[in-house]
Amino acid sequence: MTRDTRQAAAVIDTSRPSVARVYDYFLGGKDNYEVDRQVFLQVDAVAPQMKLLARAGRNWLVRATRFLAGTAGIDQFLDLGAGLPAAENTHQAAQRMNSEARVVYVDNDPVVAAHGRALLEENDRTHLVMADLTKPDEIFDHPEITRRVDFTRPVALIHSSTIHHVSDEEGPLEIMRRYVELMPSGSYLLLSHFTDPQDGGAGTELARSVEDIFANGAMGSGYFRTRDQIQRYFDGLEMVEPGLVQLNEWWPDGPLLTRTTADSVALGGVARKP
């Protein structure tokens, strides 16, 4: 364990749930505590489909990363709100397509540093930087990031399951607009987000129930925004087909044999900056 990792471990608050650790438990990981598992149990009691959505989100991220590293020819990735390592990570998916691809993970949760740094830095093209994803200018000026990402060339900017944890008061639209302004021409934005399908039925009921658990429980945040609100995060960019869609519909590896209500409460898309 590095000295930085030991320092991060010392400030981990195990009395409060962590977004990263809750997702870890949803994905079947072991880097979580009882307080995180309680959040999972609250959600699972109302919406057991949500653990399937967590896996769908991870699979979507891997597929989109493969597209960016392969078809799109992107060789540098900035993965914001990276969370804890899972069975398949961005750097593994990218470097499988291009062994020279460089991946910088960004998170501000000390548990990510404590549990994830050793695995994430498994080669000299994979790095973890602690920073706040709600501050785009600080991200693009961060010396540890600019050492490893050349912002004069195209970059893949990844916001996988991040912005739905940013409250309206924090200005998620303004945050994303600034990211788009800062991205070099030819860059790609990869973004997924909880959504209220506004179907007047099971999808909306699920969205409202889970949002209520997040808002009124220890987790604190998790916003199910409308399709139109999410689409605005891509303003000024050219959407890659099939556009902003349910996660399992974005370049699936095979036929969609089953669907659940949870499929309707998350959207993902990839877009290029001209």
Which stretches within the chain are classed as H helix?
Answer: 3-10, 19-26, 34-46, 50-69, 90-97, 110-120, 136-141, 143-146, 172-182, 202-216, 227-231
Among the listed residues 240, 140, 142, the one whose alpha carbon sits nearest the alpha carbon of residue 189:
240
Report CA-CA distances (Å) from 30 to 9, 21, 44, 81, 107: 16, 9, 17, 19, 19
- The structural architecture, per CATH, of the domain 3-272 is 3-Layer(aba) Sandwich (3.40)
Question: What pLDDT digit, counting tens, does each position of 101-110 carry?
Answer: 999 999 887 7
> What is the radius of gyration, based on Cα positions, of the chain?
18
Residue 120 has pLDDT above 70, yes or no: no
Question: What pLDDT digit, counting tens, does each position of 195-218 carry?
Answer: 999 988 989 998 998 888 878 765
Sequential DSSP letters for 104-162: EEEE--HHHHHHHHHHHTSSTTEEEEE--TT-HHHHHH-HHHHTT--TTS--EEEEES-
208 phi and psi angles, rounded to 5 deg? -65, -40
Residue 237 has pLDDT above 90, yes or no: yes
Residue 75 has pLDDT above 90, yes or no: yes
Q: Are 18 and 114 within 8 A, CB to CB?
A: no
Residue 13 has pLDDT above 70, yes or no: no
CA 236 – CA 177 distance, rounded (Å): 9
Domains in the chain: boundaries: 3-272
Question: What pLDDT digit, counting tens, does each position of 158-183 carry?
Answer: 999 999 999 999 999 999 999 999 99
CA 132 – CA 108 distance, rounded (Å): 5
Residue 254 has pLDDT above 50, yes or no: yes
Return the number of other C-beta atoms located less than 10 Å from residue 101's C-beta: 22
pLDDT at 18: 64
pLDDT band at 5 (very low <50, low <70, confident <90, very high): very low
193 phi and psi angles, rounded to 5 deg? -160, 140
pLDDT at 115: 65
Cross-strand bridge partners of residue 126: 103
Tracing tokens 């909306």 back to the chain, one arrives at 204
Mean pLDDT, the chain, as a whole number?
85
Residue 148 has pLDDT above 90, yes or no: yes
Of the chain, the percentage scoring pLDDT greater than 70 comes to: 77
